[in-house]
Chains A and B, each alone.
Chain A
Amino acid sequence: MTNLTVNGTVRAVDVDPDTPLLWVIREQLGLTGTKYGCGIAQCGACTVHVDGAAVRSCSMPVSAFTEDQKIVTIEGLSPDGSHPVQKAWLDLDVPQCGFCQPGMIMASAALLAQKPNPNDDDINSEITNICRCGTYNRVRAAIKFAAQGGQVRRG
């Protein structure tokens, strides 16, 4: 039995210790907003926050986590979709198919928490998630929009 603190709640999970955190989140905890895309930490669809940092949960065994670490998934980023990144994403209509977007949003929220005003180089180096629909330009615009407090609405 492992105790995990996910979205502010301590959850006991009975699971093989080498199970990736992603699959514990999806299958044991039933939080399916965090996505499987590659299983090798390449695409970022599985991104969650661990103590505020963006982590690719598909490649971290659940045994690597303790109850002290605060894991936040897309479902826990805000109670009602009101995180500044989510609001910017809504305003700029960022998602297309949307499958990569929970990971994209979690990565962007972590970036903004560390660098409230990221420049293009910061975005290029920190946002390495794959989107096949091609939302990159809107992702970039929405990160900047969120950084500015959502003051300039795109026409």
Chain B
Amino acid sequence: MTTALAVSRRKFLAGSAAAVGGFSFGFHVPFGGEASAAAGTTPEINAWVMIKPDDTVVIRVARVEMGQGSLTGLAQLVAEELDCDWSKVTTEYPTPGQNVARSRVWGDFQTAGSRAIRGSHDYVRKGGAAARQMLIQAAANEWKVPVAECAAADGVIMHKGSGRTTTYGKVAEAASKLDPPKDVQLKDPKDWKIAGKPVQRLDTADKLTGKQVYAIDVKLPGMLNAAIKDCPVFGGKIKSFEAAQVRAMPGVKEVVQVGDTGVAVVADTWWRAKTALDALPIVWDEGPNADLSSGSIAEMLKAGLDSDQGVFVGSQSGDVKAALAGAAKRVEAVYAYPYQHHVTMEPMNATALWTNDRCEVWTATQNGEAALAAAASAADLPVAKCEVYRLHLGGGFGRRSTSHDFVRQAVLIAKQIPGTPIKLIWSREEDMLHGWYHPITQCRLTGALDQDGNLTGLRMRISGQSILSTVNPQGLQNGRDPVTFQGLNPSGTEGVLGYTIPNLLIDHAMRNPPIPPGFWRGVNNNQNAIYLECFMDELAHAAGQDPLAFRRKLLVNHPKHLAVLNAVAEKAGWGTPAPQGVYRGLAQHMGYGSYVAACAEVSVGDDGKLKIHRIVAATDCGYAVNPQQIAAQVEGSFVYGLTALLYGEITLKDGKVEQENFDTYEMMRINEMPQVESIIMPSGGFWGGVGEPTIFVAAPAVLNAIFAATGKRIRTLPLKNHDLRKA
């Protein structure tokens, strides 16, 4: 494999140099297998581990790094089983093309669903353990001693009898020629020395000096730059454009149509491409959605709250109708959650080089194999003749797993200029107008309380958009989108409803407006947790009970849900007086296999100004591979969740998104960031995710605290649309 890659790299360089007449300058080409390119001197022990003669350990990581820290976490897991010297560890990404060529030896390349570690810990650890056994075997062979008499630690192998030692680097070449062991024994996590520890990230240093190359920074010899406009109305297309008007502008090389819906200007620099594109007269055929507005979408969803058409059941037990009819007290509320944009800091971009028999793409993707498929399809070439080189992402949040429209566009442009690498960068405005947005839903909840204030029945009707029906229709189950019910499932390991409610019905009236929906960090857990956890507060209030006590009774059958809730309540001092003017709110939820809870402390001024002082958050993710990175994810997920709560709302007018940049789509900044205290309480026996889960509880905990402070129930987001002055 490594040799093949080296050849491909040389071939590429030779080919590009020829294409641009031998033009060359100092450039940094971030190839997927940078280390592999030195294949001749770097023995590959197995797919996961290469060791250089100087004892440098190169660990291959299949999942991409987009800030979540799994590059380091996955390397820790391999290094733990390998028993290598952590200070000598480096990493590299294998490419999707290599994965295809090697029968998917690295498994799944998708980095989504908080799955990077929990979805691959087993096989990456086995990769490390197998490499370790082969290295020890190679040393034993060299010394002609039984392997059982040899042991390894920190990359050094010792023969117990003689005290002889050697290093991994010295036996790597011999080890690489051995057959892999059939069985490997993994360590008990309690014996971990590298994994489970708060080691520092492997990717920090280059991110402090400007050295880190992101996809948007890629430079190739002879490269041209492209700026694009796709029809701003969803479902519309190009009618005409007047290329002649801009062709003579400085630096402009080409003006090309991109599919049926877009037009791009290609120039020597991106700024000149964008300048010419802004001057280009374009006429759009706005298509069937030109009248679409946020108001019409809201009406469509509202009708779904009462409909029996297109309804799918998520969870059902007992007889909720009878429970509601016989309730001593009925509580009802309607909530709504808007469209939101991912807003990765790095706008969508991809660099593509197309020739008759090969297409290569450099990009930031959360799903390398999907990017490869998108490239091959647009290139009109077999997958085997295409390759995708991955770079660290300047943010992903699900946008770069949902769609590879930017890859498709880059290849379609490059195809019209064969042999010249084309870097396509979306302007922030283009990025905002062509998102795959957090789906929009409304929810009516009706609860039945008996005379003692016990919750005897809950009816939850979700009306709104399904992600899978647009993004991955084959994932639907007889038309039902299981992802809609995240965190509300009756059983399973992914996201179980913690409350035991004897009579329950949760269903979904699927209503799909023609706006592209996407997986958005936390996905449907975000609104499901708001709906349920805010309504639990409403029920507790109606029952005249303390919100913590009310929840505790209902969580008795789910001790892990209860444990995280108890942990935040205790640390936050629930039941003890808060500082003057400060009020508390609680929320708990389970998603992506992890149990999370939060207690928020807020104050609301007489002028209605909200201050979020502090959030205490607990996470039980089973095993904690890097506690300090989990803490970072908890802090970070609150910024994402609280930005959504405070400001996040994409609106539509005339079929077009109204928010085009940060001036109209605001972000939370440092001045609004609360103190975050994270409790990491891995209870063992399962593997949960950490990149997303605490987002779920950020907004409901704050909303419940706002109610405590003001008596106001906020049931629609974002808060910027509400007056929080006391009622």
A→B interface (CB under 8 Å): 16, 19-20, 23, 26-28, 30-40, 42-43, 45, 73-75, 77-78, 81, 86, 89-90, 93-102, 105, 123-125, 127-140
Contacts and interface: CB of A to CB of B under 8 A. Distances in A.
Nearest to A40: B661
B212 A128 contact: no
A23 B201 contact: no
A27 B392 CA distance: 20
Given A30-B219, A136-B669, A36 B425 contact: yes
A23 B269 contact: yes
B501 interface: no
Given A42-B663, A127-B670, A86 B345 contact: no
B639 A40 contact: no
A28 B673 CA distance: 37
Contacts of B201: 93, 95
23 contacts: A16-B275, A23-B270, A26-B217, A27-B270, A31-B210, A35-B214, A35-B346, A37-B347, A43-B345, A73-B210, A74-B210, A77-B209, A81-B208, A94-B204, A97-B65, A97-B396, A125-B671, A130-B669, A132-B397, A132-B643, A134-B637, A138-B632, A140-B673
Nearest to B249: A16
B205 interface: yes
Interface of A is mostly: loop
B20 to A, nearest CB: 17
B346 A99 contact: yes
Given A40-B661, A45-B345, A133-B639, A128 B669 contact: yes
B541 to A, nearest CB: 31
Interface stretch (B66-74, B370-378, B718-726): B66-74
B675 interface: yes
A50 B204 CA distance: 26
A74 B66 contact: no
Contact of B347 (A16, A36, A100): A36
B272 interface: yes
B676 interface: yes
B662 A96 contact: no
A99 B395 contact: yes
A100 B397 CA distance: 15
B639 A98 contact: no
B213 A93 contact: no
Nearest to B69: A96
A39 B271 CA distance: 11
A132 B304 CA distance: 33
Contact of A137 (B210, B628, B675): B675
Contacts of B490: none
Contacts of A36: 216, 347, 425
A73 B209 CA distance: 9
Interface of B: 65-69, 200-201, 203-205, 207-214, 216-217, 219, 225, 250, 269-272, 275, 343-347, 392-397, 425, 427-428, 628-629, 632, 635-640, 643, 661-663, 667, 669-671, 673, 675-676
Contact of B204 (A40, A73, A89, A128): A89
Most buried by B among A28, A38, A74, A86: A38
B669 A138 contact: no
Contacts of A77: 209
Contact of A132 (B212, B344, B638, B676): B344
Contacts of B347: 36-37
A98 B129 CA distance: 32
B662 A140 contact: no
Nearest to A97: B67
Given A81-B205, A105-B208, A135-B636, A128 B397 contact: no
A33 B205 CA distance: 13
B67 A39 contact: no
Contacts of B205: 81, 90
Nearest to A123: B670
A42 to B, nearest CB: 4
A33 B213 CA distance: 8
Contact of B345 (A19, A40, A131, A138): A131
Nearest to B207: A98
Contact of B68 (A28, A74, A96): A96
Contacts of B428: 37-40
Given A93-B204, A128-B669, 8 more contacts: A27-B270, A40-B663, A95-B204, A96-B632, A97-B395, A99-B214, A125-B671, A128-B670
Contacts of B667: 43, 130, 132
A74 B205 CA distance: 13
B662 to A, nearest CB: 4
A80 B271 CA distance: 30
